[in-house]
Chains A and B, each alone.
Chain A
Amino acid sequence: MIYIGIFITFVFINNFILTQFLGICPFIGVSKNVESAVGMGFAVIFVMSIATLATWIIYHWILVPLDLTFLRTISFILVIASLVQLVEMVIQKVSPALYKALGIYLPLITTNCAVMGMAVIAVQNNYNALESFIAGFSAGVGFLLAIVLMSTIREKLDTEWIPKPFQGVSIAFITGGLMAMAFMAFDKTLLNNLFPGL
């Protein structure tokens, strides 16, 4: 049950973009059309899941035993950056089709603050390895949800008449703000009502 709780928490209640406001850069930058938004979303799911797992391993097997938890940030950056690089190379070798779909987005999110934030939050919440992995995956799904919603709205906005000062990024920010307000409806009480046992 705790896994479902984590999933709902990171997809809806603590959605990285719309309630925590992390990873806004790709959210605005890559949400111009649905196709690339989906690509970006899956790349984030992928990177967040494995990065959270890998940083958990580094943190609990190296930093905690040596009492070096203050090195958390720098070592996480190191781990995530090289991991993403490695994954990019593997994908390019193994599956050129997947590389074409995901590859160009991977370097963009190397040490995106959402990825970094997820790793830190997983450690702060004292998750175990599997919980960390699930949390990373869920946060990625939350990112996918937000960016796909945003890109469909922006595609619709393209055909609408928008006053000049609001065109482009301005209206995107306003849209994002309204979406964030909508996501405020998801909170802990909702989760408790839905799953009293959690």
Chain B
Amino acid sequence: MSIISALYALGVVGVLGLLFGSGLAIASRVLAVEKDRRIEEVEAVLPGINCGACGFAGCAAYAEGMVKQDAEISLCSPGGQEVMVALGRILGKEVDLSKEKMVAQVHCRGNRERSVYKFDYKGVEDCVSAHILFGGDKVCPYGCLGLGSCIKICPVDAISYDDDNCVWVDKDICISCGKCVDICPTNVIRMIPYSADRIVACNSTDKGGVTKKYCTVGCIGCKLCEKKSPEGGFQVENFLATIDYSHKGEREEAAKACPPKCIIAADKK
């Protein structure tokens, strides 16, 4: 092969590439399809992580839905208020700012030391699989199975194991998409307001005596919290205390008094 044919080759591929390239460039100008400008603007505002929390296939589909089908602008939970305000501005809609950002949290602190296990689970590392087998390896059927299905599904890696080997959600990273809540087989993950100071870290609705036998940090339904912090919104139902976060009273006294110490700080255990 001579140098001439190499030059020819260079020329042919170069010219072909140039021709096709410029042809395509011209074609894209000539054949440009007018898109609704607002769809692009809306899409630019959205976070673009395609988590699907809004119920649409992704951010692009949600943007189209908002512009064309008049979908609600409040559906983007990762974006929160900032995105909602921006969307309202683009689409000329009223923005309801009263809703507070919700974050997911695991309402269980039971680990290998604190809880009693009924057998050694050696199956697939997945809570849903483990739950199919007699409701998991913990004696407590309500608690965190600790195999991390929520950790795997979380689109922003907000969930991880903490120092106690319990599963914990970092509320500053959580985008409140609710995927972990949906996948958790024991429903131990619940949504709480971002501003919540305390949570009752237990999900067991068994009687106090029963709970005590299989977990040292389980709520026994003693109602001490209701008495110590009457303004804190504590309610004991089915031997499990929950907090009504619309009450803004102090909850420290209850946390100090709680016998199994399961009323814990919501930002760091």
Contact = CB atoms under 8 A, between A and B. Distances in A.
B27 A89 contact: yes
Interface string A63-103: 10011101100110011001001100110110010000000
A109 B8 CA distance: 30
Nearest to A66: B8
Interface stretch (B17-25, B150-158, B165-173): B17-25
B23 A82 contact: yes
A78 B13 contact: yes
A79 B23 contact: no
Contacts of A93: 31, 33
Nearest to B28: A89
B12 interface: yes
B12 A71 contact: yes
Nearest to B17: A78
Contacts of B71: none
A53 B27 CA distance: 21
Contacts of B44: none
Nearest to A99: B33
A62 interface: yes
Contacts of B5: 67-68
A143 B146 CA distance: 48
B20 A82 contact: yes
A92 B20 contact: no
A79 B16 contact: yes
B17 to A, nearest CB: 6
A63 B20 contact: no
A79 B9 CA distance: 15
B21 A82 contact: yes
Interface residues of B, number: 15
Contacts of A58: 16
B3 to A, nearest CB: 14
B20 A71 contact: no
Given A79-B20, A82-B20, A71 B31 contact: no
Contacts of A78: 13, 16-17, 20
B9 A68 contact: yes
Interface in B1-54: 5, 8-9, 12-13, 16-17, 20-21, 23-24, 27-28, 31, 33
A82 B12 contact: no
B14 to A, nearest CB: 11
A75 B13 contact: yes
Contacts of A63: 12
Nearest to A91: B31
Contact of B12 (A75, A85, A86): A75
A66 B12 contact: yes
B239 to A, nearest CB: 38
A123 to B, nearest CB: 16
Contacts of B13: 71, 74-75, 78
B24 A82 contact: yes
B24 A90 contact: no
Interface of A: 58, 62-63, 66-68, 70-71, 74-75, 78-79, 82, 85-86, 89-90, 92-93, 96
8 closest cross-chain pairs (CB), A and B: A82-B20, A93-B31, A89-B31, A89-B27, A92-B33, A68-B9, A66-B8, A85-B24
Given A78-B16, A79-B20, 4 more contacts: A66-B12, A78-B13, A86-B27, A90-B27
25 contacts: A58-B16, A62-B16, A68-B5, A68-B9, A68-B12, A70-B9, A71-B9, A71-B12, A74-B13, A75-B13, A75-B16, A78-B16, A78-B17, A78-B20, A79-B20, A82-B21, A82-B23, A82-B24, A85-B24, A86-B23, A86-B27, A89-B27, A89-B28, A92-B31, A93-B33
Interface of B: 5, 8-9, 12-13, 16-17, 20-21, 23-24, 27-28, 31, 33
